[in-house]
Amino acid sequence: MTQDEASRQYYYQEIARRFLRHQTSMFFLPPRDLALISDWEKLGIPLEPILEGIDRTFARQLKRKKKRNIYSLSQCEREVLKAYASYQERLIGQASPPAEPDKKLNKARSEIKDFLERLPAELKPLENLYKEALEILSQNEPDASRLEELDEEIDRLVFELIPEEDKKTGLKEIRREFPGKPEAALAEILQTRLVKEKRQLYHLPYVSLFYY
């Protein structure tokens, strides 16, 4: 085994170990989760923020009034990306010269404006949410909490717009991947997966700055 292969194996194993340490009812990650790790690897996301994001996801769910089970790495993705954004900011703080402070802000605004200009008719219900996000991003100090809430609202609305037949097909596939898991957990994994697919299909921009 080459050094690169050993490093790659360590990357996958450490992510799996950290997730399965929290989710003790599972013994291995399903293929979709391995594919997500591959995506993170291609994006160049280091191990440190991924493990931090996994820990944050499980810590947050313990604090929720309405508990939820985490059975898929995809449910950790939001916290992983937030941790990665913080990791990058720490690196920027150590670098010289510092990066342009408005770079993320300008990119987010640009992507949202482009999306609103090409907004497909079937996604018209998303228009007001994206317009509100654009207004917030135009402020001197954008409200990060509200932007995160808007991303969650966009996700919920996107899921509502997905045809029922697609949801039924997706749920069958998830039941095969996660046999014996509670229906509520399967429904959450279904929503996470289908929304991500639609975001990729329509190039739906995120509004939270940690995605940029």
Residue 174 has pLDDT above 60, yes or no: yes
pLDDT of 133: 97
pLDDT band for 99, please (50, 70, 90 cuts).
very low
Q: What is the pLDDT of residues 104-121, one digit of tens each?
A: 899 999 999 999 999 999
Helical ranges in 95-182 per DSSP H: 103-117, 127-137, 144-161, 164-177
pLDDT value at 100 more than 60: no
- The answer to whether 137 touches 108, Cβ cutoff 8 Å, is yes
For the chain, the first-to-last Cα distance in angstroms comes to 35
Contacts of 86 (CB under 8 A, 6+ apart): 49, 210
**CA separation for the pair 68, 169 (Å, rounded):** 23
**C-alpha to C-alpha distance for 170 and 60, rounded to whole angstroms:** 27
pTM (2 decimals)?
0.72
Q: How far apart are CA 54 and CA 15, in angstroms?
A: 8
Mean pLDDT highest for which of 84-88, 90-94, 129-133, 137-141?
Answer: 129-133
